[in-house]
Structure 1
Amino acid sequence: MTIPFFAPDLFDADHETLLGLVREVGLDPEQKFILGSRTAEFERVQRDAVGAADAIACGSGTSALLLVLTAMGVGTGDEVVVPAFGCAPLAAAPALLGATPVFADIDPVTLVADPVEAARLIGPRTKALLPAHMFSVMADMPAFRRLADSTGVRLLEDSAVAQGGTLAGRPAGMWGDAGVYSFVQVKTFGMPGEGGLVVTGDEELGQAIRMLRNHGQDGRQRFVHHRIGWNSRFDEIMAAFQLHRFPSFPERLNRRAKIGEYYTERFASLADRGILTPPRDRDGRCFYVYNLLADHRDALLKHLADADIDSHVYYRSPLPSQPGFARFARPGEAWPAAERACQRSLALPIHPMLTDAQVEHIADAVCHFADTKRTSR
């Protein structure tokens, strides 16, 4: 059987619990199915886990970006510096608010936004920096923090793939003025549905985000709208389910980390054959997926498929080259590292449901491919 890139049975062990929670919430005399007591408890647990002043659960990681940027006052005429390589919401969130995403090239090895490139792009219209952790590596948040502080712009940390990661002892999401997580099924703390979370050390910013997620209401009196907001509220069943799964989250993260460390050890000698691994150190690492850079990426993808291993290419073109965002690309700008990443990036399975035998088979297949390339030279 093919080894899946994402586990199809992530929640199999929790089926009965989930059904029980549906019944519990459905029969609760309070009859509150969004933003109830379970959501409040879930927010408290998440807040305390990272030492935030506030944690605000919302409809998705994408809407979390929109909520934070809006609370920061980003709008028409502003600019937000974003990575040229990454997922669409990085550019879509500022664009949907009337702002201009300004694309910074990335580090050619770690694939995260390069703070030196970001600094070059800051101008009088820059309102925020939006670095994103990518695949296996956290962005250089100390450098971005210094850059934001020295220029007076806001810092929003996209930690959608990095929940549970730490850098220099600080949790992912807590380097920025605010950080966001995603709970879509395949993320490290995914759930069977859509959801997101904002964490922040700024209580005033947190309060603004709370209002924005619920049509601008402050929770004290319905139908009094202090701001123009959205419907980006959190589901009580999912809050209860995530509370149930939170105690085992470190165990699942550790399993991912162990798999990643095994891959890195096995692939350490392949650099001269055109295959590069993420950094070895756990500091500043996240384990959403395990990403290789391969000179013969498409051939490696086919080789793995022939060995019944499902791998994945995330981004085949940089954001400023995509039809939806091309109009924001500055004339004369180039993103060579992002272009190269699109040609070489390949993600391997790293989900915690993998068996040791499957992990070994995946590593063997990659090493075998590298050996064939050495032989053919």
Structure 2
Amino acid sequence: MTPDPVRRADAPTAHHGAPDTVDFFPPGLFEEDRQALIRLVREVGLDPEQRFILGRRTAAFEDLLRTALGAADVIACSSGTSALTLILSAMGIGADDEVIVPAFGCAPLAASVIRAGAVPVFADVRPDTLTIDPDRAERLVTARTRALMPAHMFSVMADMPRFVDLAARRDLRLVEDSAVAQGGTLRGVPAGLWGEAGVYSFVQVKTCGMPGEGAVITTRDQELGHRLRMLRNHGQRPGQRFVHHAVGVNSRFDEVQAAFQTHRFPGFADRLARRAEIAAHYTERFAPLAEHGVHPPVPDADGRCFYVYAVLAEERDALAAHLAQRGVATHVYYPRPLPEHRAFAPYARAGTHWPHASAAADRHLALPVHHLLTDAQVERVAEGVVSFVRGRARA
């Protein structure tokens, strides 16, 4: 591997756990920005404006992202889940409407639809990318279907060109759950700008995460942006307090976090490049392992976002245990398909099956890919996976 552009292999790092552990969620993620964060807390707290939410710092952060993306609007809000619900509400999707979502993924995919008053319809995913299968989604379209909500999964963007075509042919709204994909592009189009609206989540482990909760909505539709700004703040239009034009919610953004995200944004490209470098190294090392039951993500560099690097392993639990014995932390994100959860099972169509989603739930294992990993740690993770396969082959 080439030298780490963010942290050299011999650079010191704080160890909050055992010194020989490769963390999956690094506790020192914001250590380099500690003094800046302390300064910003004091700056916002003592600002004569005493404006702690949706102030000029939030507006500046929105402007920064809008310019960087070439979007019509970027709307900061309280979380990715809230962002998805706001989008559906702004589109007028509600009672008796159906929204097609992936059967494999995070709870907000279904929960946001239900919170908007609509019904989630679960489509199976592709076995190679783990993203929603456009063909299976189209077979689920009915007269009640109002929207498609494809989601990017781990390090791979969904097949958005197919979904753009499907939405146009069937006269459907297109919501892009790009929460994990900030910085990703597909065919030159940034994640978040393929649909009518997309989202980026800023939970700390995301590619542009922060020490708190928050998200933004991205859109090419300025009118939709205006409505979203109103709905996120109790139905009030910007600059017009206590006049409510619609039933909105409290989904507002924190000024300290906005200032902190603006401070860290210049380093985002380097942090993302480091993740991409690590992912490329893993894929190169793991490509020969597919015939032995450990499958890396498909190697196409287009449409990659490097939030999470996940392999599919036929002996997933044994591989996780093998890596844990070597001090490498791993993570299983979604141990069962969404329609198999008690919360969402009532919305699953009787007799429907999701074989690829079930296989993904049983086999996926996420490996450390954050930008603070040294080259030595990356090689340790890679060698741990390779040694597991070698051991199985010898047995």
The 5-angstrom pairing of residues 190-209 of structure 1 reads 190-209=209-228
Structure 1 residue 26: Cα displacement: 1.2
Structure 1 residue 373: Cα displacement: 1.6
TM-score (norm 1): 0.99
Structure 1 residue 121: Cα displacement: 0.6
Name 1:49's counterpart in structure 2: 68
Structure 1 residue 28: Cα displacement: 1.2
Name 1:337's counterpart in structure 2: 356
Distance 1:305 1:23 in 2: 41
Structure 1 residue 250: Cα displacement: 0.1
Name 1:328's counterpart in structure 2: 347
Q: Can you give the 5+ residue segments of structure 1 that lack an aligned partner in the other structure?
A: none
Distance 1:72 1:157 in 2: 13
Distance 1:316 1:30 in 2: 47
Name 1:5's counterpart in structure 2: 24
Structure 1 residue 96: Cα displacement: 1.3
Letter in 2 for 1:71: A
Distance 2:252 2:76 in 1: 7
Distance 2:69 2:339 in 1: 34
Which of 227, 232, 241 is the aligned partner of 1:213? 232
Structure 1 residue 106: Cα displacement: 0.1
Superposed CA deviations along residues 105-130 of structure 1, whole A, max 9, x for unmatched, are 00011100001111111111111100
Query: In the comparison of the two structures, how many residue pairs are matched?
Result: 376
1:21 correspondence with 2:21: no
The farther-off stretch of 21-30 and 328-337 is 21-30
Q: Can you give the 5+ residue segments of structure 2 that lack an aligned partner in the other structure?
A: 1-19
Name 1:72's counterpart in structure 2: 91
Superposed CA deviations along residues 251-303 of structure 1, whole A, max 9, x for unmatched, are 00000000000000001100110011112122111101100000111100100
Structure 1 residue 220: Cα displacement: 2.9
Superposed CA deviations along residues 27-52 of structure 1, whole A, max 9, x for unmatched, are 11111111111100100011111111
1:133 correspondence with 2:152: yes
The 5-angstrom pairing of residues 148-167 of structure 1 reads 148-167=167-186
1:304 correspondence with 2:323: yes
Letter in 2 for 1:21: L
Letter in 1 for 2:286: F
The farther-off stretch of 201-210 and 275-284 is 275-284
Which of 291, 295, 298 is the aligned partner of 2:314? 295
Distance 1:338 1:26 in 2: 47
SS at match of 1:292: strand
1:121 correspondence with 2:121: no
Letter in 2 for 1:210: R
**Ranges of 4+ aligned residues in structure 1 off by more than 3 Å:** none
Letter in 2 for 1:184: V
Which of 367, 370, 374 is the aligned partner of 2:393? 374
1:94 correspondence with 2:124: no
Letter in 2 for 1:80: V
Distance 2:236 2:347 in 1: 34
